[in-house]
Structure 1
């Protein structure tokens, strides 16, 4: 095994497996509440760093073999405002109405804890949504797909039907930018690019 993945996301596990790394999941819980006056880029980088650090602490506490800990955090930003995971169906519908017919930013930060250091990397993508009808929003929310996703949609699922244009990393929008992840891991002798 090469490293620990501090994430419960099945999408991140699937993507990480594609970059030639063997890993084991480790618990890493942090408070995801934005700090006062914290910008979206600082927010997502702080969370990735904190999750990697929390994973490292869990590794020590559980007496696990010492390995790098990889963490990631993804957030959707519309008009400078952070759109996290929806609290309920009404919140998901509100987010989707806001994203309808507009372009938003998706930020995914990576944090890799090696020893006592945490290196971070940021992936930025711009996503344009089609104008959505109330019926489309209601049907999508009823599918349940938006409920555990930043911005209330998954580009890799039905939510991809709403995307008319993408500038950046598809896998970054999914939650683990493969190019940036492979390059970060390669700097530490891990993965296919090492």
Structure 2
């Protein structure tokens, strides 16, 4: 895969780095601290897109002949958005709430070039079995999921033992809807 210009990934996520590398794309990492607050009136998918777009705006004036990629993944239980847990207690509460039910993972993505900005999202429905307190405790203590929305990583132990099925893209839950990203890059004429 050849891109028509250099690709910058504005994320420190090891999972997003792996997924981009898996697409066969060369990229550099460029990260800035960006406030992740969002307007209260936004609906779930709008929040994910807003955050991805907002992150990209921080780079708008620095961009030369490059492609900037930003993303934000949120976990939604009904209308409640589960962010990254601050501590063990928050992680335990989130996983307990997700246990035995389904939720949606929404990743907003922004592809920014000097001439254009494309913002889109993908939604995956995830079904968790009923988790025991022992399973939740084991996962939090051994995997420290404090950098993950909803307090879990689908690719980790809890996903292996707890997720019964998903509807939609697995990679979206990992943190980047790579199929939609690839399609968008082609549509923008950035892949040759």
Report the TM-score, using the length of structure 2 for normalisation: 0.91
Residue correspondence of structure 1 range 1-194 to structure 2 within 5 A: 2-57=6-61, 59-60=62-63, 65-161=64-160, 162-191=162-191, 194=192
CA distance in 2, matches of 1:190, 1:114: 10
Runs of 4 or more consecutive aligned structure 1 residues displaced over 6 Å after TM superposition: none
Answer whether contact 1:21 1:190 (CA < 8 A) is retained: no
Alpha-carbon contact 1:75-1:150 (below 8 Å) kept: yes
Q: Deviations over 1:145-194 (max 9, x none)?
A: 41110000000111212110100000000001110111111123334xx4
SS of the residue 2:176 aligns to? coil
Contact 2:71 2:107 in 1 (8 A): yes
Counterpart CA distance in 2 for 1:66 and 1:114 is 7
Deviation at 1:134, TM superposition (A): 0.7
Q: Mark the runs of 5 or more structure 2 residues left unpaired by the alignment.
A: none
- How far apart are 1:40 and its partner, in Å? 1.2
| Alignment: residue pair count | 187
Aligned equivalents of 1:177, 1:36: Cα separation in 2: 25
